Amino acid sequence: MASAGAGEGKETAAGSSLHSKTLLKSQPLYQYILESTVFPREPDCLRELRVATATHPMAGMAASPDEVQLLQLLIEILGAKNAIEVGVFTGYSLLATALALPDDGKVSA
């Protein structure tokens, strides 16, 4: 299930908590989007946290990687400098938010 980086290992949405979170109801299409677009854009620190979180008994609570990349896009479009995260779990969406904020940005969780 875990991937160590681009080209190393394959992760599948099937059998994980990821597919249940997406708006797309075609599992093969979601898997294609993950592999072609989402995973290659995911920084190593986020990937490592996502993979570690996947072993948690309540892993389904974490935001999905496509979801946090949309969140990051919205943060950048808005030019947000401050963010509040209520409900951190293992910090996946928190870390994604922090990475999308400018250097002088601040995230409170």
Q: How far is the CB of 54 from ligand SAM (least distance, A)?
A: 11
Residue showing the smallest CB distance to ligand SAM in the complex: 87
Cβ neighbours of 103 (radius 10 Å): 5
The residues in 76-105 that bind ligand SAM, with binding defined as CB under 6 A, are: 86-90, 92-93
Phi, psi (5° rounding) for residue 67? -65, -45
Minimal CA–CA distance to 18: which of 102, 7, 47?
A: 47
Number of residues that bind ligand SAM (CB under 6 A): 10
Say whether residue 49 binds ligand SAM (CB under 6 A): no
Nearer to ligand SAM, 23 or 86 (CB): 86
Say whether residue 74 binds ligand SAM (CB under 6 A): no
Distance, in Å, from the CA atom of 41 to the CA atom of 24, rounded to the nearest integer, reads 19
Residues 6+ apart with CB under 8 A from 59: 16, 17, 53
Q: Which residues bind ligand SAM (CB under 6 A)?
A: 61-63, 86-90, 92-93
